[in-house]
A and B are shown apart, each in its own frame.
Chain A
Amino acid sequence: MTLLDLARRDFPGVVTSSTAPGKVVGNRIRTPGAGADPAAVRRRTLRVGIWALALLVFGALVVASLLIGAGTLDAQVFWASRVPRTVAVVLAGAAMALGGLLMQLLVRNRFVEPSTVGTTESAGAGLLIATIWMPAMPVAGKMGVAVLAGILGTALFLQVIRVVPVHSAIIVVPLVGLMLSGVIAASTTFIAYQFDLLQTMTMWMTGDFSGVIRGRFELLWLVGALLVVTYVFADRFTVAGLGRDHATSLGLNHRVAMAVGLGIVAVSSAVCVVVVGGLPFLGLVVPNLVSLVMGDNLRRSLPVICLGGAGFVLACDILARVINHPYELPVGIIVGVVGAAVFLTMLVRRKGLR
């Protein structure tokens, strides 16, 4: 009996999308009489179909990303510019989408993500402070400051939402997060303004892959490593998402799981901000769309979410290269516009979907 099996026994329908308690075979959930239940068959067919389609689309996007650019394609352009950019987009897109889901699980609210609770803004504030007071610091050091600030900002958010009454409307927590990130962003803007760094700050915080070349994105591999860590501990995060009391009664050290999970979110958001800038709404849109179809079992939905986030940013980044060819558009703007539109649609249609 793993933690997750216990959780499934106690909370059927919460932990997985299947309404019958299931048995784990490999890493797939077999529901009793799956073959006989036409609904289950339909669900599984749908899942296989989604996977096939997702992989196909993703593969096409990767190929397009490797072929599209401002320069003429030769070996050096391919390895020094196209491959690094594609890898950076995939890692950042996957990390930001997953960061959104982790945060939603641990805060137990569908409508939070790093850029709406102050994590991203805090990381930006850290970067700014390091730039102003420690200009000679190497990039790794500045990133460390940004990561630390991201963790502090996330912790601050968690402290603040503790006073939100348990039975408040679902929208209260994200609103508190938005206010908090607004306060942090305003303070950062004030400091940046004092030092005439407003435009530089804007450039940092707007996601943009145009400067990515071999030797200037490798820190993102750290984010890739965190994705693997998240996958390994996926079940614990899923259980932690059931709430402190339930998780504790199932034998999970809830405090540690929360700390590790939010640490992962803060570190990967901060690294993404420092290397490529902000990718707003990604962590809201992708996990919510995937959850609608797959439920909240992190181990099962994690690959899909990573693929979805990476694919979405890839598509936006290809657009960013094509619209103003041979010049660039900051991809963060495109991600923000499309993401906001999808998110609003989801909010409006949510009642119909549930």
Chain B
Amino acid sequence: MVRRFAALLTVFLLALTACGQSGGGSPAAAPAAESRTIRHVQGETTIEGTPEKVVVMDFGALDTMKALGLSDTVVGLPKRGLPKFLSEFGDEKYADVGTLQEPNLETINKLDPDLLIIGGRSAAKYPELSQHWPTLDVSFKTDKGLIDGTEASATPIAETFGKQAELSEKMAALRTRAQGLESKGAAAGRGLIVMTSGGKVSLHGENSRFGAIHTILGVPVAKENIATDGHGEPATFELLAEINPDVMFVVDRDAAIGTEGQNARQILDNELVHRTKAWQDQKLVMLDGSRWYIAIHGLDNAGAMLDEAAAGLEG
């Protein structure tokens, strides 16, 4: 509303000045901004020209912006819980626009962005945000798997800024990287993905957000058919002993959201987990929660995740 009014006012003033000009040199006509229609998770958004002021409400998308060389267009982001690998966005030249779940509309309004990029935890705000600003929802879809999901999420961003060529290049490199890691995963033995939080554990399967461990790295599953609920299946330590995985991939959820609580190793350090082969061989691959649980589908992050898991298997 405000924007539309401002636009009308601008047109009106321009018309006035144009009228007021005494003949002679014609006014330099700005090149007509071409408009593009970008398809994304929650529909289509028409974008005029190339956005210069972007607010990014999702850390995966932020990582993709950085990977595509678009950091300079970012003006605001939620700074709480910013992953370490994106720490440059903590700089004060970037505005803090609330949290992932709750964008601060007033702050965003002050920034007057010409594009919002949201996803995952902020996706539910789409109806509200898209009323005020052109908005893209680039939520990661778990069922596509890490690589195709990352590509699907980055595509609307690349299209908006005309970076399709860079995206194809990066994706090709990512796929090559993934293929190179497959043999490592297959030789790792039966793997189990465990998330720790508040002294308890939950298990995650191959269709979960951490599923790349099984689907891309090719680590055999220690237990079939673990449901794909967002927070996994709550489990007892008894069950961990029963499944007896050869290797455990551990995500510390409390560290991912910035609490310094009991760390994952402390939670797992008990007599029942000690019975597992994974503990006895010290095959606990600690995964960086900010990469695996918070950011996930960043164009650089996806490769870094795979590398981290593969390096953990070696170490």
Contact = CB atoms under 8 A, between A and B. Distances in A.
Nearest to A209: B236
Given A72-B242, A200-B198, A327-B239, A208 B234 contact: yes
Contacts of A330: 234
A324 B200 contact: no
A81 B198 contact: no
Which of A69, A70, A76, A215 has the most chain B CB within a 10 Å cutoff?
A70
B270 A215 contact: yes
Interface string B225-255: 0000001011111110110000000000010
B203 interface: yes
A169 B201 CA distance: 46
A204 B198 contact: yes
Contacts of B304: none
B254 A210 contact: no
Nearest to B270: A213
A69 B270 CA distance: 17
Interface stretch (B163-171, B184-192, B256-264): B256-264
A211 B199 contact: yes
A306 B192 CA distance: 40
B275 interface: yes
Contacts of A216: 199, 270
B81 A196 contact: yes
B239 A326 contact: yes
A250 interface: no
B234 A71 contact: no
B234 A210 contact: yes
Contact of B242 (A71, A135, A193, A203): A71
B234 A80 contact: no
Contacts of A131: 259, 261
A70 B236 contact: yes
B275 A210 contact: no
B239 A200 contact: no
B81 A71 contact: no
A44 interface: no
A54 interface: no
A69 B236 contact: yes
Contacts of A326: 235, 239, 242
A214 interface: yes
A199 to B, nearest CB: 8
Interface SS of A by simple majority: loop
Contacts of B272: 71, 76-77, 80-81, 213
A327 B257 CA distance: 24
A216 B262 CA distance: 13
B261 A71 contact: no
Given A196-B257, A200-B254, A210 B235 contact: yes
Which of A80, A327, A330 has the most chain B CB within a 10 Å cutoff?
A327
Interface residues of A, number: 32
Interface in B41-57: none
A219 interface: no
A68 to B, nearest CB: 11
Interface in B258-294: 258-261, 267, 270-272, 275
B233 A203 contact: no
A196 B290 CA distance: 13
B36 interface: no
B52 to A, nearest CB: 30
B253 to A, nearest CB: 8
Nearest to A325: B239
A196 B201 CA distance: 20
A136 B80 CA distance: 21
Given A77-B272, A197-B259, A324-B233, A211 B200 contact: yes
Contacts of B254: 200
A137 to B, nearest CB: 10
A71 B238 contact: yes
Contacts of A80: 270-272
A328 interface: yes
A327 B228 CA distance: 13
Nearest to A80: B271
A329 interface: yes
B71 interface: no
Interface string A299-327: 00000000000000000000000001011
A232 to B, nearest CB: 33
Nearest to A330: B234
B230 to A, nearest CB: 10
A334 to B, nearest CB: 13
A204 B197 CA distance: 10
Contacts of B260: 135-136
Given A71-B239, A210-B236, 20 more contacts: A70-B239, A71-B272, A76-B271, A80-B270, A81-B236, A81-B238, A131-B261, A193-B99, A200-B259, A203-B197, A203-B198, A210-B235, A211-B198, A211-B199, A213-B237, A214-B271, A328-B233, A328-B234, A328-B235, A328-B236
28 contacts: A70-B238, A71-B239, A71-B241, A71-B272, A77-B238, A81-B236, A81-B238, A135-B260, A196-B99, A197-B257, A199-B197, A200-B197, A200-B254, A200-B261, A203-B200, A204-B198, A210-B235, A210-B236, A211-B200, A211-B201, A211-B267, A213-B237, A213-B270, A215-B270, A326-B235, A326-B239, A328-B235, A330-B234
Chain A to chain B: the 8 pairs with minimum beta-carbon distance, closest first: A71-B238, A70-B239, A135-B260, A327-B233, A71-B242, A328-B234, A211-B200, A203-B198
